[in-house]
Amino acid sequence: MQDLAKTHNLDAFWMPFTANSQFKQSPRMMVSAEGMYYRTEDNRKVLDGTAGLWCCNAGHGRREISEAVSQQIHNLDFAPTFQMGHPLPFQFAEELAEIAPAGLGKVFFTNSGSESVDTALKIALAYQRAIGQGTRTRLIGRERGYHGVGFGGISVGGIVNNRKTFGSLLTGVDHLPHTLSIEHSGFSRGLPDYDPGWAESLQNIVTLHDASNIAAVIVEPIAGSTGVILPPKGYLKKLREICTQHGILLIFDEVITGFGRLGSPFAAQEFDVIPDIITSAKGLTNGAIPMGAVFVRDEIYDAMVSPESQAIELFHGYTYSGHPVAAAAGLATLNIYRQESLYTRASELSQYWEDAVHSLKGLPHVIDLRNYGLVAGIELSSIAGKPGSRAFQVFQACYEKGALIRVTGDIIALSPPLILEKHHIDELFNILSDVLSTIEYKE
């Protein structure tokens, strides 16, 4: 293998969410990608077990997308969407509304999941005020929730490392308990049964603050970034009921569950629970061009945008909201999803996937296995005093053996492109099983 640290000057790029020193001493560089595989700089094929970062649902190197993008850059590289327009975001929003859960027919464009989350929180606050409920300013997130890295997102998010060094964050935020109990539902297949009343703790927060002070609750239907935490059966429905009862908006952060990951276009349809706002990004453009979208219930838009009003209704937006090139990438992406039936492919493969995931039961240090759709969480016991080290060593070994997995703490999270075939599942789990069985951990 070439010594990549010597071939590049890696000093200037401050890498995000990365152990910079560690990486720069032994870099892992991808240089191209096609279908289910990356190609590394040392010319090895690496199977993508993570769709990049939960983005590339239609696989890599899709010509339909790159051609749409290149044509659009030539034709109209940029045009503003503040008090001006161009056709593509209107067309894209219309196509998105067609696959969104019924009633969420308005789409606000952003450039990332983090921006989608902050946009959703701001719309919730502005809406409550617009309907005369201006005292509703509190926001409720959940422990172990990940909602990106904006100040809104880290405030409602529940990950200590993402919060602890960044000051006082938003005030007026509460957190629901997370819904993982390895003790009671370890090795469950699909959604677990065990639920000690996690959704009802929302009722306790309402009792504490009074509903008249609470604007919105935000949760990921399945929490991905903190290690695939599944909602117990019926949990999301209960959250919906409590929110409806108290006039609290329910926001689903579907940045990773959107666009077919679970077997339906959105988790909302998969679990038959319709929130008031959905945030999305990633799979929206197959990861090819940065873009996010926030789906909003029609009544929310209608309450804020009256036909008579002539002034700006929502003082919010990004220079690149509805960027023509991103919208072109998105339209081409939706075409692929439709033509290749990728919204439902995860449900077709989910049984095979589930069996493969649970074939790892009994391997050294595997303390839980979780799965739904084409998502899996494999939790390992931690090395004493070195949290995250065991899974990171597995990650490195899998990469050497030709599979890209993602780790968070000591949990491996898998989310392959939805185009994968059964033989890719076999290949991924053969590598994982081989590594987990044979690796000699540095303690």
Give the DSSP per-residue string, 341-404.
Answer: THHHHHHHHHHHHHHHHHTTTTSTTEEEEEEETTEEEEEEPPBTTBTTHHHHHHHHHHHHHTEE
Candidates 251-259, 327-335, 387-395, 435-443; binding stretch for ligand PLP (CB under 6 A): 251-259
Bridge pairing between strands 375-380 and 366-372: antiparallel
Candidates 33-41, 141-149, 244-252, 260-268; binding stretch for ligand PLP (CB under 6 A): 141-149
Closer CB to ligand PLP, 142 or 429, in the complex: 142
By CB under 6 A, tell whether 52 contacts ligand PLP: no
Count of residues that interact with ligand PLP, criterion CB under 6 A: 14
Token readout for 75 is 């034709």
Q: 173: helix, coil or strand?
A: strand
| Secondary structure string (H, E, C) spanning 107-165 | EEEECCHHHHHHHHHHHHHHHHHHCCCCCCCEEEEECCCCCCCCHHHHHHCCCHHHHCC
By CB under 6 A, tell whether 397 contacts ligand PLP: no
How far is residue 316's CA from residue 121's CA, in Å, rounded to a whole number?
12
Determine how many CB atoms are found less than 10 A away from the CB of residue 429.
21
Closer CB to ligand PLP, 224 or 373, in the complex: 224
For the CB of residue 239, give the shortest distance to ligand PLP in the complex, in Å. 16
By CB under 6 A, tell whether 148 contacts ligand PLP: yes
For the CB of residue 159, give the shortest distance to ligand PLP in the complex, in Å. 11
For the CB of residue 36, give the shortest distance to ligand PLP in the complex, in Å. 21
Closer CB to ligand PLP, 146 or 198, in the complex: 146
Ranked by CB distance to ligand PLP, the top (closest) residue is 113
**Using CB under 6 A as the criterion, what x/- string covers residues 202-221 for binding ligand PLP?**
------------------x-
Closer CB to ligand PLP, 113 or 232, in the complex: 113
For the CB of residue 435, give the shortest distance to ligand PLP in the complex, in Å. 24
By CB under 6 A, tell whether 125 contacts ligand PLP: no
How far is residue 6's CA from residue 22's CA, in Å, rounded to a whole number?
14
Q: Are 283 and 260 in contact (CB under 8 A)?
A: yes
By CB under 6 A, tell whether 239 contacts ligand PLP: no
3-state percent breakdown (helix, strand, coil) of the chain, nearest 5: 40, 15, 45
For the CB of residue 244, give the shortest distance to ligand PLP in the complex, in Å. 23
Closest CA to 371 of 270, 170, 252, 228: 228
- Tally the C-alpha atoms within 13 A of residue 19's C-alpha that lie toward its C-beta: 11
Identify the residue among 199, 281, 296, 376 touching ligand PLP (CB under 6 A): 281
Closer CB to ligand PLP, 114 or 350, in the complex: 114
**Using CB under 6 A as the criterion, what x/- string covers residues 99-118 for binding ligand PLP?**
-------------xxx--x-
By CB under 6 A, tell whether 147 contacts ligand PLP: yes
By CB under 6 A, tell whether 232 contacts ligand PLP: no
Over the range 369-387, which residues count as b (16 or more CB within 10 Å of their CB) and which as e?
Answer: bbbbbbbbbbbbebbeeee
Say what angle helices 324-339 and 342-358 make with each other, to 10 degrees.
70
Candidates 100-108, 252-260, 391-399, 416-424; binding stretch for ligand PLP (CB under 6 A): 252-260
Residues that bind ligand PLP (CB under 6 A): 112-114, 117, 146-148, 220, 224-225, 253, 255-256, 281
